[in-house]
Amino acid sequence: MSQKLEKLIDKKGLRLDGRKPEELRSIKIEVGILSNADGSAYIQQGKNRILAAVYGPRELHPKHLARPDRTVLRCRYHMAPFSVQERKSPAPSRRDIELSKVIREALEPSVFIEYYPRTGIDVFVEILQADGGTRCASITAASLALADAGIPMRDLVAACAAGKVDDTIVLDLMDTEDKKGVADVPVALMPNVDVITLLQMDGILTFDEFEKAVNLALEGCRKIYQMQKEALKTKYVSVNEVEE
Amino acid sequence: MPTFFERRQLVVPGDLLAEGEYVAGENAYKEDNKIYASRLGLVEYEDKNVNVVALRAFYIPRLGDTVIGTIVEVGFNGWMVDIKSPYLAILRASDVLSRSFSPQKNELSKVLDAGDLVIAKIIAYDRAHNPQLTVGEPGLGKITRGQIVKVTPTKIPRLIGRKGSMISMIKQETGCHIIIGHNGIILITGKSLEDEQLAMIAIHKIEDESHTSGLTDRITQMIKKEKAKQKEELENESKT
């Protein structure tokens, strides 16, 4: 029980990694780093390291999955065996399958799926190193990869989690906080059209705490959105410079 | 009715472009009287039309386009052709063989086999059916020689230039015959490999600098310089 007593937030109100409660982890995003994929993105969020690749729209196989009125968006979330402390089996687990679905449903509202009927878009998300909040970071990266692939979209999707650790509502939980904390609320947002595309909760929160957590997470999403935009534009900065 | 951008500004999907009585043009959409970008690109507007010139896009077939594709499948009644678009194109056997043919006797793979490249024109396409091709016009058909260059399909208009000014200049300067597929695949056939390479360099330069002004002049200069260089090398070789 000694572990239970370990404080996740110290007397100064700082977290295990020295962050303030409303502080994001350091984020680095790169777009278009895989030449074989139609679109790709890489994100580092704290110790998370995630690659996202997009293929398509293209002829869908197996063909019976094709819809006559829209594109089929498929998503695969996969953790590398070396991405966590204890080797993870590379076969898709229950959790992987659920996260694939959650990521797909978070991205689907942002894509104009009705533009290219009878085709498929494949999104591959590879977790190279995991440290909590991978589903959110995956959505952030996958959305950029879609934009990089030139797929028409309503908006980018930015995602971020908030939660309760000890007695404080905090932003962007890392692995230990997620496991030992009280609750975790991942949120995905399309910032310009103001639509939430993912909202989950794991743990117990009062209604007030939940509201506070969601609002904090939304704020985090908006901050991440700015970084997404920056990353996407950086790739084409050279184009702009030549122009001037 | 405000607009929220400057001409040729770089925008990302979801960026608010304008509000009020504007019309969403290419790569833009309208919702609640607001215009947003739907692709990464540069904004332009003409009257009430707000367009985004996409920097990243793929080829969507259009009626009458000339395309260059690869045969990927030989069927009983025709071929499936990869034209680098979300949809595979169909080339019917009856279109290629002007005589009557029977699927039992005729070996279609003897005419065109998987891996062959063809220049074709799109004669039918809608969202419910795959595009259909024809090779029944002069200049179309199987490619037997030359060099293939691939560029992003959105850059094709720049490559052609105003009323074909850019491409005719390259043709003239390099002495190559160039066929541009609207799907971003270009065929260059010239007298020598050097000529073809020169045209290839020029096309890649246009792709990289497609957003700059005065590009045609700079490309002309570049080709002339490269030509002089080649000549010099040739002379040096003949001396030794």
CATH of the domain at A143: 3.30.230.70
Residue B24: which of B3, B53, B49 has the closest Cα?
B49
The predicted structure's pLDDT at residue B110: 86
Q: In this complex, do A232 and B38 lie within 8 Å of one another by their Cβ atoms? A: no
Q: In this complex, do B56 and A152 lie within 8 Å of one another by their Cβ atoms? A: no
Domain count, chain A: 1
Show the domain range for A44: 20-237
Cβ atoms of A34 and A141 closer than 8 Å: no
The predicted structure's pLDDT at residue A3: 52
Alpha-carbon distance of B114 to B112, in angstroms, equals: 7
Given CB atoms, is B191 within the 8 Å cutoff of chain A? Answer: no
In a domain, A125, yes or no: yes
Q: In this complex, do A154 and B38 lie within 8 Å of one another by their Cβ atoms? A: yes
Question: Min CA distance, A106 vs chain B (Å)?
Answer: 16
In a domain, A3, yes or no: no
- Of B93 and A77, which is predicted with more confidence? A77
Question: Min CA distance, A43 vs chain B (Å)?
Answer: 18
Q: Tell me the pTM.
A: 0.91
Mean pLDDT (chain B, rounded) = 89
User: pLDDT in tens for each of the 244 residues of chain A?
Assistant: 445 557 888 889 899 999 999 999 999 999 999 999 999 999 999 999 999 999 989 999 999 999 999 999 999 999 999 999 999 999 999 999 999 999 999 999 999 999 999 999 999 999 999 999 999 999 999 999 999 999 999 999 999 999 999 999 999 999 999 999 999 999 999 999 999 999 999 999 999 999 999 999 999 999 999 999 999 999 877 555 544 4
Residue ranges covered by each domain of chain B? 10-54, 66-142, 147-230
Residue B111: which of B129, B121, B99 has the closest Cα?
B99
Q: Can you give the three-state secondary structure of chain B, one letter per residue? A: CCECCCCCCEECCCCEEEECCCEECCCEEEECCEEEECCCEEEEEECCEEEEEECCCCCCCCCCCEEEEEEEEECCCEEEEECCCCCCEEEEHHHHCCCCCCCCCCCHHHHCCCCCEEEEEEEEEECCEEEEEECCCCCCEECCCCEEEECCHHHHHHHHCHHHHHHHHHHHHHCCEEEECCCCEEEEECCCHHHHHHHHHHHHHHHHCCCCCCHHHHHHHHHHHHHHHHHHHHHHHHHC
The reply to whether B66-142 and B147-230 are identical in fold is: no
Res. B235: pLDDT tops 70: yes
Q: In this complex, do B36 and A193 lie within 8 Å of one another by their Cβ atoms? A: yes
The predicted structure's pLDDT at residue A1: 42
**Minimal Cβ distance to B211: which of A39, A228, A243:** A243
Tell me the pLDDT tens digit for each residue of B38-57: 999 989 888 889 999 888 88
Q: What's the average model confidence in pLDDT over B196-218?
A: 85
For B147-230, give the CATH class: alpha beta
* Chain A residues closer than 8 Å to B36 by CB: 154-155, 192-193
Q: Which CATH superfamily is domain B66-142 in?
A: Nucleic acid-binding proteins (2.40.50.140)
The predicted structure's pLDDT at residue A149: 95
* Chain A residues closer than 8 Å to B13 by CB: 110, 147, 152-156
Architecture label for domain B10-54: Beta Barrel (2.40)
- Percent of chain B exceeding pLDDT 70 equals 99
In a domain, A1, yes or no: no
* Chain A residues closer than 8 Å to B212 by CB: 242-243
Question: Min CA distance, B49 vs chain A (Å)?
Answer: 18
Tell me the pLDDT tens digit for each residue of B160-179: 888 888 899 999 888 999 99
How far, CA to CA in Å, does B153 sit from each of A61, A97, B146, B186, B196? 25, 36, 20, 10, 21
What is the predicted ipTM?
0.89
